[in-house]
């Protein structure tokens, strides 16, 4: 029988009480963004009811609305099944984008056709980005606890910026000076046009 959330919490809390937190080795990584050591770890909160997520049943889903309304400030590319969008928040990196199904679905809910197109869309997104931008590869993240509409984060560092490699890349994006949105959009349009050449669809 797998551990329940409460059993997991009880076991971890007992371990913290007995041995303390494990020492984090992040500060020793060359990619760690911060100069000072972070010593204090927040108390672990008990499991709670899951908070509501935006866009349940496609109601008030801003991603669906952007597709429906042809929002060219948010969307850069789409085909019959997938679309590429730009975060509304300021970003610092050369590429921060979302790859999203046009179907209102989370990962476990994708229909077979959209699921079958997901892999090729991700592959083409990396091919397009590395061909038209000075980035070596994209990192693909799923951080979708806030909305029910699946959105893969596509994040890329500048070529040769090896300090930004790996799992701290999104932390670096949070602390570096941001780019003007028009620059980000112009670069994403280049990616979108290359996507059209690679897999079809339309650049917006």
Q: pLDDT tens digits, residue range 135-175? A: 999 999 998 788 899 999 999 999 999 999 999 999 999 99
CATH of the domain at 82: 3.30.428.10
| 126 domain-assigned | yes
Identify the domain containing residue 87 by its residue range: 56-203
Contact partners, residue 37, CB within 8 Å, separation at least 6: 27
| 48 domain-assigned | no
CA separation for the pair 196, 87 (Å, rounded): 21
| 26 domain-assigned | no
| 32 domain-assigned | no
Kindly report, residue by residue over 50-61, the tens digit of the pLDDT: 888 888 877 789
Neighbours of 150 (CB within 10 A): 22
Q: In 3D, which of 106, 115, 172, 114 has the Cα closest to residue 145? A: 106
| 176 domain-assigned | yes
| 95 domain-assigned | yes
| 40 domain-assigned | no
- Structurally, how many domains does the chain consist of? 1
| 155 domain-assigned | yes
Q: Do residues 202 and 77 lie in contact, with contact meaning Cβ atoms separated by under 8 Å?
A: yes
pTM of the model as a whole:
0.88
């Amino acid at each position: 029988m797998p551990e329940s959330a409460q059993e997991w919490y009880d076991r971890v809390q007992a371990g913290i009480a007995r041995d303390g937190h494990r020492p984090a080795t992040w500060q020793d990584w060359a990619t760690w963004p911060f100069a000072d050591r972070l010593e204090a770890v927040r108390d672990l909160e008990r499991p709670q009811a899951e908070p509501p997520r935006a866009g349940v049943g496609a109601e008030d889903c801003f991603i669906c609305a952007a597709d429906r309304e042809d929002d060219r400030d948010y969307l850069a590319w789409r085909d019959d099944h997938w679309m590429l969008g730009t975060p509304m928040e300021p970003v610092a990196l050369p590429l921060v984008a979302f790859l999203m199904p046009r179907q209102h679905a989370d990962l476990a809910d994708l229909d077979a056709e959209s699921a079958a197109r997901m892999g090729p869309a991700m592959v083409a997104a990396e091919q397009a980005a590395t061909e038209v931008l000075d980035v070596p590869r994209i990192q693909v993240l799923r951080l979708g606890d806030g909305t029910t509409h699946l959105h893969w984060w596509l994040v890329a560092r500048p070529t040769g910026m090896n300090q930004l490699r790996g799992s701290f890349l999104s932390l670096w994006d949070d602390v570096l000076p941001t780019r003007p949105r028009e620059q980000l959009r112009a670069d994403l349009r280049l990616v979108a046009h290359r996507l059209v050449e690679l897999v079809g669809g339309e650049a917006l």
